[in-house]
Amino acid sequence: MGSFLKEFLGELAGEVVLTAVACLAVVGLALAFVWGWEHSPLVTGGAGGAFLAFLGYGGWELLRPAEPGRRGRLAGVAAATSAVAAVFIAYAWSCDCF
């Protein structure tokens, strides 16, 4: 019974930490966007659009059929970034910071 409780508390602590990090990331991105928009809307919009295009490219790389020897470093980084962003979005969705 003690190991079950220990495992449960460990998983609960991990969930809380991951949710807190996701919420802080959302708040940080929102503050950075507002600050950037006040200084230069064109650069902020361009950087945001480029980042969304990068995430879209990573998602496309994750979902397309794998061909051996075809994926380069940029595709791997984009795919990893998209996967991490998807996990953060899933955890941030459950917090009340929206």
d(CA 15, CA 32): 25
Q: How confident is the model at residue 90 (pLDDT cuts 50, 70, 90)?
A: confident
Q: How confident is the model at residue 96 (pLDDT cuts 50, 70, 90)?
A: low
∠ CA 81-28-30, nearest 5°, is 95
For residue 74, is pLDDT > 80?
A: yes
Cβ-in-10-Å burial (0-12, 13-18, 19+) of 96 comes to exposed
Closest CA to 97 of 44, 25, 33, 36: 25
How high is the pLDDT of residue 36? 93
Where are the chain's structural domains? Answer: 2-93
Neighbours of 71 (CB within 10 A): 14
Rounded (10°) CA dihedral 73, 76, 80, 83? 150
Q: What is the pTM of this model?
A: 0.70
